Amino acid sequence: MNEDKKREKDKQEALDYHQVGRPGKIEILSTKSTLTSKDLALAYSPGVAWPCLEIADDPEAAYKYTIKGNLVGVISNGSAVLGLGNIGPLAGKPVMEGKGILFKRFADIDVFDIEIDADTVDKMVNVISALEPTFGGVNLEDIKAPECFEVERQLVEKMNIPVFHDDQHGTAIICSAAFLNALEIAKKKIENIRIVFSGAGAAASACAQLVMDLGVKPENLFMCDSKGVIYKGRTAGMNKYKEQFANDTKLRTLADALDGADAFIGCSARGVLSKEMVGTMAKDPIIFAMANPEPEIMPHEVAEVRDDALMATGRSDFPNQVNNVLCFPFLFRGALDVRATKINTEMKMAAVYALADLAKEEVPDEVRMAYGNEDFKFGRNYLIPKPFDTRVLTRVTPAVAKAAMDSGVAKLKIDNLTDYATNLENRLGTSAEFMKSLRDRLDTYVKQKNKKVKVVFAEGSNARILEAAKILKDDDKIEPILLGNKERILKKMKKIGLDSLKDLQIVTPDRDENFNGFYKEYGEARSREGVSLSHAEDVMALENYFGSMMLRKGLVDAFIAGPTLSYPDCFVPIMNVVGTVDQQRAAGVYIMVFKNRILFLADCTAQVEPNAENLAEIAANTAQLFRHLMRREPRIAFLSFSNFGSNRHPQAKKVKNAVRIAKENYPMLNVEGELQADVAVNKGVLEKLFDFSNLNGETDILIFPELNSANISYKLLSQLSDGQAIGPILVPMKGTVNIVQRTAPVSEIVNMAYLTALLAEEENNFNNK
């Protein structure tokens, strides 16, 4: 495909993306119920008067009763839109909508995009400052230099909320993080290097200022614009913003400045940097060619003359993309959460160091998967994290919040930054409030007993397990114990920068003092089921068997298997060693957490074709899990393609019989069925069509007729809705044990650990009563 055809194809794809369906990319959704006239009376008149009066008495109450504390204004006059230039505010609106999507996607920040018809500094300042009551922060976007400098300066002085020009400071923060790591790889000290900038606009000026804040000496920084080096005494094309970077030098051209230079930072235009210039630079030159869409020089052109260069661009198709999305969502998240009055240098530098440090950690599997399973390791081709690395939220945001508090610009204080980071990780899902309630309850148990919950993890050398263990260790509610080869685990800790975990208990099964007793006990217990003593010795050396035995013998409170082995490979050892209460059949429960509802789904993982008795048993065991976690009696619906005998197919009759058996064997359960899924989850429909139903409220537990429907349903719900799946949780086990899936990210492993630890404590309390 030639370039013209490709360009036309790309153009049409972009236009279709924006116009198909509802025009544009964003909408406003209600966070409160609006189903009844009562709801509307609360949302608007007359009920809305009460929060209005509260805010009139105390302006800070706006953060309690309105969206202000999570709302950022993305504001532009369209005078410097991307590489398109001064196309005006209306034409720039698609960019501002896109910015709003990135704020929401990466940091759960709501955005109003505001395009203003204002072409002077005074007009822009007057309009934007008048909007302060609306927003918790303002992101200035695509305003041309030099006006952008003065607009931001005046707004920062006038407004008592964070104001941030992303084109300046976002680029500067990402560039500086990559720059620090490039210096480390090149073994150069920042105070000794000579650096040359091409461009003297918003981004270049901010980058230059920030690298000086980080340690570059002003006399070693040379800024060039279209007229050459900005030097003291130059008058052509100068202004007060360029003047602050004027160098007392005899160098006059970009080529002059680059001769022997250690670094080039480009925020200018394609073709500015030639191969000849690159050839004159010092050993291991750092070349950040960030002009978009075409960099000042292409990577292959640099490679033709240098094999020692460290390169970054603004493009995603080359390594080391300087992408502002690594900054602005997380910077604002931290600023909003401590209600900062401004974004200062300390907060920017905190973001720089957090990003630079994160690039040195091992990259999680979910990030590799997002980029076609490419392997990223800290080095010349991986200087900064990738945008889809969810750890950016939990590293940069707390660092920014802490810097705001330490520097005195925060109105609110966050006492526990570890808890804060965990809450941030959950925030992008729907399970944050639910998981926080579980962690709070676990915290209460731990404080009452003055003893942490011991949780053993089967795959101790797995990077995700180690990252989860770090979070759990720092949170101080759970004592992680790692299973596996000790030397391999310690080596992996060192490799991914988690040496702080080396004091954790690490158990190598076949070297442990309990190994002989474990395999002999297991061999004896399973001797009539084809297990010889030598076979028992072999399998007990495997982490899933040994961990299960540690739980069985009471050496730990809970055991978590996974996340690299298949579900059956984890499930079989657990069943063989731990087993179920009263030799019942195990079931796997998923908790689906939606914005306004929580549903328990069973059995999603274990029993392929349960009979009616099995279904009744699954319902009773799931109800017990629900009581532990939700602390009330559940309402249970048995699902089918039939409603109360409307179909007489044997499969429907099986479910009907299961309901009867459940009522007979477990008379305290509130069960109903058989029901079609839409009726079961819609209280209004159920009450209207079947007023004899005894559920008396919204259904809490859905019992599926067999594994196919259950497994398919939870996976569809987790992929196609805003619901988040937590699980699977095994019931009714003799000990507290669960399995994390192979695709589980670190946040999911952490959540499963908290949930499992809480269940262990609940079970202990129940047994001691």
The whole-angstrom separation of Cα 398 and Cα 731 is 37
> Is residue 497 within 8 Å of residue 398, measured between CB atoms?
no
From the list 669, 651, 649, the residue with the least C-alpha distance to 660 is 669
> Is residue 225 within 8 Å of residue 199, measured between CB atoms?
yes
Residues 6+ apart with CB under 8 A from 739: 560, 561, 562, 567, 570, 571, 574, 728, 730
Report the amino acid identity of residue 229: V
The whole-angstrom separation of Cα 165 and Cα 145 is 11
Extended strands (E) in 521-564: 558-561
Give me the catalytic one of 68, 99, 242, 654. 99
Q: Low-confidence residues of the chain, pLDDT below 70?
A: 1, 365-366, 369-370, 372-373, 426, 428-432, 765-769
- Token look-up 């993890």 returns 457
Helix (H, G, I), strand (E, B) or coil at 561: strand
> Is residue 528 within 8 Å of residue 546, measured between CB atoms?
no
- Three-state SS letters, 177-199: HHHHHHHHHHCCCCCCCCEEEEC
Residues 6+ apart with CB under 8 A from 737: 548, 551, 558, 559, 560, 561, 574, 578, 730, 756
> Is residue 498 within 8 Å of residue 470, measured between CB atoms?
yes
What is the value of pTM for the model shown?
Answer: 0.72
Angle at 499 (CA atoms; ends 493, 504), nearest 5 degrees: 85
Cα R_g (the chain), whole angstroms: 30
For residue 431, what pLDDT is reported?
A: 65
Instruction: For residue 453, report the phi and psi dihedrals to the nearest 5 degrees.
Output: -85, 125
Helices (H), 280-416: 299-305, 328-337, 345-358, 365-370, 391-406
Extended strands (E) in 494-556: 505-507
For residue 84, what pLDDT is reported?
A: 83
Other residues' Cβ atoms within 10 Å of the Cβ of residue 470? 21
Other residues' Cβ atoms within 10 Å of the Cβ of residue 385? 28
> Is residue 291 within 8 Å of residue 315, measured between CB atoms?
no
The whole-angstrom separation of Cα 10 and Cα 14 is 6
DSSP state of 338: T
Other residues' Cβ atoms within 10 Å of the Cβ of residue 192? 12
The whole-angstrom separation of Cα 424 and Cα 435 is 12
For residue 583, what pLDDT is reported?
A: 87
| Catalytic residue list contains 44 | yes
- CA–CA distances in Å: residue 499 to residues 38, 394, 563: 57, 19, 22
| Catalytic residue list contains 666 | no
- CA–CA distances in Å: residue 611 to residues 20, 24, 653, 729: 47, 50, 11, 21
CA distance between the termini of the chain: 74
Give me the catalytic one of 11, 17, 38, 44. 44
The whole-angstrom separation of Cα 355 and Cα 173 is 9
pLDDT in tens, 219-247: 999 999 999 999 999 999 999 899 999 99
For residue 429, what pLDDT is reported?
A: 62
> Is residue 155 within 8 Å of residue 138, measured between CB atoms?
yes
For residue 430, what pLDDT is reported?
A: 56
